[in-house]
Amino acid sequence: MKIEKYSGRVTEGPLENVYVYEAPVRLWHWITVLMMIPLAVTGYLIGDPPSVTGAGEATFNYTFAWVRIIHFSCAMIFAVAFLMRVYWAIVGNHYAHSLFLPPVWRLAWWKGLFRQLAYYLFIKKEPDSWIGHNPLAQAGMFMMFVLGAVTIIVTGFALYAQQWASGQSWMLLFGWVHCLFGESQAVRTVHHLAMYYLLVFVILHIYMAFREDIMGKETVISTMVNGIRAFKTKDH
């Protein structure tokens, strides 16, 4: 099997199984999935909380604070998992850094991107076979997931830091974000919009994963479970 450098396209058969996603990558993926669900739900609730009127004294209620604690805790796990993933991009295998550093300076990568785009636009009938992410998926992952996640993590920590006075604790680390945006309402708005940006990514990502798994030549969903990119047919 021959694989084109920089785009990951299989140029010559026979197709063989490849170990693509190492255990830390898979672990990170599913932790992120697990965390994003409560994060989106509690995040939305923080922006538009239901009111628990008529629940008696405030002393005996801690409803909204629980929503926020869940949000903060999940966010911490999400961020730590992301940090670990960045670390793995450096020390992991060849496929581990493809979503952080798409080789945009390579012609083969761009050609691959347009081949895949043409396939999705029904211009090109037959799909190509890819090891790892195809260039279009890489671009999507980088633009939507990596940038979205970095934005939501940085703005999130900046908002979290607000419970400390300026120059203290987390504020020391993330106070600059508020200066960058001018004022903290802008940080909130960006954080809020980043959630929708990631939700749009999630829709596209799940759709593409299922579509490729059903219509494409290679396995996609099981790859994120066992790490192995297998092909349904052996001929290229």
Partner 1 sequence: MTETYYDLLRRQGISRRSFLQFCSLTAASLGLSQVGAQEIAHAMQTKPRLPVIWLHGMECTCCSEAFIRSSHPLVKDVVLSMISLDYSNTLMAAAADQAEEQLESIIRDYKGKYILAVEGSSSLAGDGIYCMSRGKTFIEKLAHVAKDAKAVISWGSCASWGCVQAAKPNPTQAVPIHKVVTNKPVIKVPGCPPIPEVMTAVITYYLTYDSIPPLDAQGRPKMFYSQRIHDKCYRRPHFDAGQFVEKFDDDGARMGYCLYKVGCKGPTTYNACSAIRWNDGLSFPIQSGHGCIGCSEDNFWDKGSFYKHLPTILPPGWGGIEATADKVGLTAVAVTGAAVAAHAALSAIKQTSSKSRNDKLAAKE
Binding to partner 1 in span 77-116, by CB under 8 A = none
Binding map of partner 1 across residues 51-80, x = CB under 8 A, - = no contact? xxxxx--xxxxxxxx-x-------------
Rounded to a whole number of angstroms, the minimum distance from the CB of residue 138 to partner 1 is 19
| N-to-C CA span, the chain | 9
Spatial distance between the Cα atoms of 171 and 32, rounded to a whole number of angstroms: 25
Q: Which of residues 150-179 bind partner 1 (CB under 8 A)?
A: 162-163, 165-167, 175-176, 178-179
- Of the candidate spans 13-21, 74-82, 95-103, 117-125, the one that interacts with partner 1 by CB under 8 A turns out to be 117-125
Is position 17 an interface residue for partner 1 (rule: CB under 8 A)? Answer: no
Measure the CA dihedral 153/159/164/169, to 10°. Answer: 10
Residues 189, 222, 226, 233: which binds partner 1 (CB under 8 A)?
189
Position 235 contacts partner 1 (CB under 8 A): no
Q: Are strands 10-12 and 2-3 parallel, antiparallel or unpaired?
A: antiparallel
Work out whether the CA dihedral 218, 120, 124, 8 comes out positive or negative: negative
Name the minimum Å distance from CB 227 to partner 1: 27
**By C-beta, is 85 or 191 nearer to partner 1?**
191
Residue 37 binds partner 1 (CB under 8 A): no
Task: Using alpha carbons only, give the angle 106, 110, 113 rounded to the nearest 5 degrees.
Answer: 140
Q: Which is nearer to partner 1, 20 or 158 (CB)?
A: 158
Nearer to partner 1, 90 or 167 (CB): 167
> How far lies 173's CA from each of 85, 157, 162, 194, 201, in Å?
21, 9, 11, 21, 28
> Which residue, 51 or 105, has its beta carbon nearer to partner 1?
51
Beta strand residue intervals within the chain, DSSP E: 2-3, 10-12, 18-19, 228-229
> Which 210-229 residues touch partner 1, going by CB under 8 A?
211, 215
Residue 85 CA to residue 29 CA, distance in Å, equals 9
DSSP code, position 50: P
Residue choice 106, 111, 188, 236 for contact with partner 1 (CB under 8 A) = 188
Question: In this structure, what token pair is assigned to residue 2?
Answer: 């021959």
Question: Would you tell me which residues interact with partner 1 (CB under 8 A)?
Answer: 47-55, 58-65, 67, 120, 122, 125, 162-163, 165-167, 175-176, 178-179, 182-185, 188-189, 192-193, 195-197, 199-200, 203-204, 207, 211, 215
